[in-house]
Structure 1
Amino acid sequence: MLVHHLWISAVIIVVAGLLWWLQRSYFRHYPHKGSLPFYLLRVLAQLGILLSIVLALAIEWGMPKAGLRLAGHYFLDGFTISGVKINPAHIVAAIIILALLLRLVEFVTQRLDHFLGMFSLDSGARYSLVTLSKYVAIILSLAIGLSLAGVPLGKFALIASALSVGVGFGLQTMVNNFVSGIILIFERPIKVGDWIAVGSTEGYVKRISIRYTLILTFDRTEVFIPNSEIISGQVTNWMYSNNVLRLMLPFTVEHEADLQHVKEVMVKVGQQHPDVMQDDPSIIPPSALILDVNTNGVVVYLRVYISDCNLAFNVQTDLRAGVMEALLSNGVPVARQQQDVRILNSHFEPLRLVADAEA
């Protein structure tokens, strides 16, 4: 009889291990890994497997039917601890419904983004509407889940008072980031896709959440910046109202060079580039400016405006290469760095090589 119980127990454990492996494999390839529904469903599946193991082993080793009925009674009707009634069945149902509601929220917000894309809304306004709708739907889903779990919503007044005390003792930063995130979503000083610089971090805005803003830098690293730093600090946005960008490219020629000819060559190269703005009356056309004269030569700047700042590096490369080729082909002497070495004491004893000394 003991061998039979051990054999059945081993089978139960093997089946439970197989179920555990299956749920891990499923959640490893879950399409929305890291989301709240993902964690809720994973915890529910793992708890279900563990409780099933315990119940199956208890039945196999002779748990009386009265114990099963008592466990079922506690699970369905609940029990009271310190005056608080806990109903496991309601809690499990609330977790399942909450996970389904949150998954529905993700589906609806994705469809809402595609729907708003049919109208003449920029990406920033569309992102703000979708984000606000998502957070409102999540709050409503949490309220529904808590109500189904038997948690009275009137108790949240106590939670709010506790949070107010917590803010005074160390949650100021979290609340500050939360409020700053709401301000960013409403005022939209930055939008998803903007090229911005915050302190030493520069790149494109990839996501704006309630707590932080995700910036993708040019070397493909992702930097999480608290929203409070963006609201209270200085932020440079190259794409706030338009994408126009000015480029100032310095070139140094020798002092004897024909500066008028140099300026004409440089301006011609700027005018020939397809991405340089020329016909816009509000923009200065390509021009060459002499802004510095030093010991190495005369520094002439090529000033151009481009309509898309995302093309800045490519346009700079093309213009630098084009100007250098044009200057060299026109015989313009390009300056090189010069250094004058002055010998103050000329009374040096001549050096003799060892070979000369032996000779």
Structure 2
Amino acid sequence: MKLFLKSVTFFILVLHPFFGLGQIVSEVAVDSTGKAIPKPIKVTEIIQKVESASANIKATSRKTTMARSIKKIDSLFPEYAAFIKAQKKRKEHFVSANPNRQKINNLIKKWSGYHDHLSGWESVINDREDRNVIVQELTTFNEETWRLTYENAVKEKVPLEVLKSVKQIWDEYKKINRAITRENNEYLVLESKINDQKLIVNEVIDDLNTLKNSEVYNLFYLRHEPLWKSSFKSPEKNQGEKDEVESISENVLGISKFIKSNENSIYIYIISVALLVGLILFLKKIFDKYPFNEEDGDLQNAKDVIFNRTIVSMVFASLVIAKLYFVNTPMLLGNILIFLILIVSIPLVQPYMYKRFKNIIYFVIIFYVLDTAKTYMWFSSAQYRIYLLFEALLVVGVLIAFTRPYMKTRKMKIGNFGLLLIRLTPLVYFLLFVSVVSNILGYTNLTDLTLKVSTQSGVFTLIFYGILMIFGGLVIGIIHWNFSTRQEIDFEKKFALEMKALQVIRVIAFIMWFLFFLKMIDLLDPLQGFFTDIFSDPYQIGNITFTLGDIVQFIFILTVSFLTTSIVSFLFDSGNVSLKLVKLPKGVPAAISLVVRYLIIAFGIVFALSSLGIDLSKFNLMAGALGLGIGFGLQTVISNFVSGLILVFERPIHVGDTVEVNNLLGTVDRIGVRSSSVITFDGAEVVVPNNNLIANDLINWTLSDSIKRVEILIGTKYGSDPNKILEILKEAVKSSEDALKDPEPQALFSDFGDSSLNFRLRFWVHYEVGLKAKSDVSIAIYNLFEKHGIEIPFPQQDVYLKEFPDTKTTISPKKDI
């Protein structure tokens, strides 16, 4: 929020020379730091200001009342602190039971949920504190203003009633100021208590991470005796072993508390899902309205997911969003969400799988259930190892059943992705072999890891394949919608863009899958720590101190900004955007696109600079110098800039219009802020300054519509029947498919020429086919004249030569010229 306010301030300082905001800013005196200096109110304005100040005091009093959410946090905090204390004792019992690595990860996730819950409370309090700081600054300013007003009123000897009103306003502001200070102190105390609990939570998480990274959990540490020496009796559980097992009843209670404490997040989730459902339904209508004739199988599958599996796609996407959005949920809720995602993936993914491997989805779900059940069931050490051995052997059996004979299966033509999975089968066999052998020998840390990779990788692959299908369908649907609503469709460009989009989506999906895989095998956190140390090392050049992380963040923000502008341009710049509920006039989408794109770029630059730690207030001097430079040397640039804004908002021309300016005739390809691009009919792209389009006479042939009148002039020899000629001209127009029937064509007798009877034929066509229509009608007239024996005369002139003195013969030839 603070960064946003700094950004707004920076833009006001930079742009106020353009828009005349200097007068607004100069009305309030500021000191060297830019802080406003209070001044006494004029005596003649006191009565008017008293009324507005009273309303402001009432509004400020309402704002400074302790929020209901803060009161709720204050009442729940003692109970939650006691809960954390009890959970810390359970953690100590848990550690004493020598749990495996997966159970430690589960406990870390649970404590991370406690940390997030406390952070949520802290965030609510911080927001309220920040709001109070802003209100207090305004209140302090008003208090000082009315103090000065009161002192000035005493000097001016205003009436006692007026002086009394001024004093009352001043006292009210002082009272509000004290109330805000008192409330902030209460917030600070509550925040300090919450922070103490966060320190306890962080300490527990650090202890668990230290335990997880200790030698006991090394992959090649011998944690148990060989399986043949283990006892299979079920000893009585101690307290640590009881705490090691997830309680379903506690998880159910935790889900209830989670829902109550995340009401606002649930509302946001519902809105997000509603928007996604609306997008899927909209794209389904697009596929139904505009035929999708791509022959590529991947593109057809992407369309099929949205068009034929609409309900399944919506449910699957909603569950995935819930899993990704609600982080650190109770263990049972997270497992239920993944189980439901796997169930819904059956009708979503199975139809696109090779027939031989369709049923493998059911075994992936079974393996997930077997792996998850270990969290809620108690086993002795030997029983747990037998359970793992059974699971590993079951995976081996399933692989053999679906890939036998392997060499023949490997030669199947099932697509690159399926072929890659088949070629990874020997690696899975190797991991399972290691799992079985290490389990028998007692290296159960290695057993847990190899078995998890063998089973959970299939779960992640299935889920991400479903995500890939839906995301691909959404992107392909948007591209299809954008191109289908255009007047002219470049099918090659459309196909190339669709294939490129699918490739990008696959790369993103693979990166996300790889990150989840690293997290599954507990390598993501060490890698994050390694790169964090590298990117956080400070470097200094002169007076500038920076880190590699700052540079990466700077580049990332700029990249996201420009990618976002490209997406906005793609969606809106076609000029044909129209929704069912909102009809956008011609040119409005381009105006929206331009404004949004430049705002995104501008704020992206500001945020990127702020990420480098650059104080934006240092640009004040540069903003003033920029304003001075604009006044003297950049008049042409600013003139074109303002002309560009006029073109965008007044919309005298649109992208795709045919315009004529300064003997330049062509189609508008782009309308920019400084210049616009016009493509002539010869293929040349001409960059025209926007000021030329505003200052000169501009002919727009297609502004309101694209209908143009074509006129053909023709003459016939004397002696022709004018009535018959008019009928023939009308018949010639009717033979052309491009000529419009409304407005009706006109055949007119023009005048008696020197050598011919002159006629005019007028008809209307769409501008794009004007030349073709004129050519077709002219040829039709010629053919009809030939058919009816009507001649088109040459120009004729009679020449008479007088008799010369030395010649008796008078020559009076008559020639056709």
Residue matched to 1:27: none
User: 2:733·2:763 contact (CA, 8 Å) conserved in 1?
Assistant: yes
Matched, 1:188 2:188: no
Residue matched to 1:60: none
The worse-fitting range, judged by mean Cα deviation, of 152-161 and 244-253 is: 152-161
SS in 2 for 1:78: strand
Residue matched to 2:538: 76
Between the aligned partners of 1:229 and 1:118, the Cα distance in structure 2 is 34
User: How far off is 1:234 after superposition?
Assistant: 1.1
Between the aligned partners of 1:141 and 1:215, the Cα distance in structure 2 is 30
Between the aligned partners of 2:571 and 2:601, the Cα distance in structure 1 is 16
Between the aligned partners of 1:268 and 1:122, the Cα distance in structure 2 is 38
User: How far off is 1:339 after superposition?
Assistant: 4.7
Superposed CA deviations along residues 274-321 of structure 1, whole A, max 9, x for unmatched, are 33222x4xx3x2221233443232221101122x21110111011101
User: 2:568·2:593 contact (CA, 8 Å) conserved in 1?
Assistant: no
SS in 2 for 1:87: strand
SS in 2 for 1:267: helix
User: How far off is 1:155 after superposition?
Assistant: 3.1
Question: Which residue, out of 545, 558, 569, partners 1:98?
Answer: 558
Matched, 1:310 2:773: no
Superposed CA deviations along residues 165-208 of structure 1, whole A, max 9, x for unmatched, are 21232211111111111111111111111111111111111111
User: 1:123·1:192 contact (CA, 8 Å) conserved in 2?
Assistant: no
Q: Which structure 2 residues correspond to residues 198-347 of structure 1 after superposition, within 5 A? A: 198-278=661-741, 280=742, 283=743, 285-306=744-765, 308-340=766-798, 343=801
Superposed CA deviations along residues 50-81 of structure 1, whole A, max 9, x for unmatched, are xxxxxxxxxxxxxxxxxxxxxx9xx8242445
Mark the CA change 1:289 to 1:96 in structure 2 (over 3 Å): closer, same or farther: same
**Amino acid of the structure 2 residue aligned with 1:300:** F
Residue matched to 1:152: 615
**Structure of higher CA gyration radius:** 2
Residue matched to 2:264: none
Residue matched to 1:47: none
Residue matched to 1:55: none
User: How far off is 1:259 after superposition?
Assistant: 1.4
Between the aligned partners of 2:624 and 2:803, the Cα distance in structure 1 is 83
Matched, 1:127 2:590: yes
Between the aligned partners of 2:669 and 2:563, the Cα distance in structure 1 is 22
User: 2:572·2:589 contact (CA, 8 Å) conserved in 1?
Assistant: no
Mark the CA change 1:347 to 1:210 in structure 2 (over 3 Å): closer, same or farther: farther
Mark the CA change 1:224 to 1:347 in structure 2 (over 3 Å): closer, same or farther: farther
Segments of structure 2 that go 5 or more residues without pairing to the other structure are 1-496, 498-533, 808-817
Runs of 4+ in 1 over 6 A off after TM superposition: none
SS in 2 for 1:193: coil
User: 1:109·1:133 contact (CA, 8 Å) conserved in 2?
Assistant: no
More strand by share: 1
Between the aligned partners of 1:290 and 1:172, the Cα distance in structure 2 is 55
Structural RMSD (CA): 3.1
SS in 1 for 2:711: strand
Between the aligned partners of 1:345 and 1:130, the Cα distance in structure 2 is 82
User: 1:265·1:323 contact (CA, 8 Å) conserved in 2?
Assistant: yes
Residue matched to 1:58: none
More helix by share: 2
User: 2:639·2:691 contact (CA, 8 Å) conserved in 1?
Assistant: yes
**Amino acid of the structure 2 residue aligned with 1:97:** I
Segments of structure 1 that go 5 or more residues without pairing to the other structure are 1-30, 32-71, 350-359
Residue matched to 2:624: 161
Between the aligned partners of 2:674 and 2:747, the Cα distance in structure 1 is 46
User: How far off is 1:86 after superposition?
Assistant: 5.0
The worse-fitting range, judged by mean Cα deviation, of 91-100 and 110-119 is: 110-119
The worse-fitting range, judged by mean Cα deviation, of 317-326 and 116-125 is: 116-125
User: How far off is 1:228 after superposition?
Assistant: 0.8
Between the aligned partners of 1:248 and 1:300, the Cα distance in structure 2 is 10
User: 2:538·2:545 contact (CA, 8 Å) conserved in 1?
Assistant: no
Between the aligned partners of 2:619 and 2:586, the Cα distance in structure 1 is 36
The worse-fitting range, judged by mean Cα deviation, of 150-159 and 130-139 is: 150-159
Mark the CA change 1:108 to 1:225 in structure 2 (over 3 Å): closer, same or farther: closer
- Percent sequence identity over aligned pairs: 29
Q: Which structure 2 residues correspond to residues 111-126 of structure 1 after superposition, within 5 A? A: 111=571, 116=577, 118-119=579-580, 120-121=583-584, 124-126=587-589
**Amino acid of the structure 1 residue aligned with 2:624:** S
Give the TM-score normalised by the residue count of structure 1.
0.67
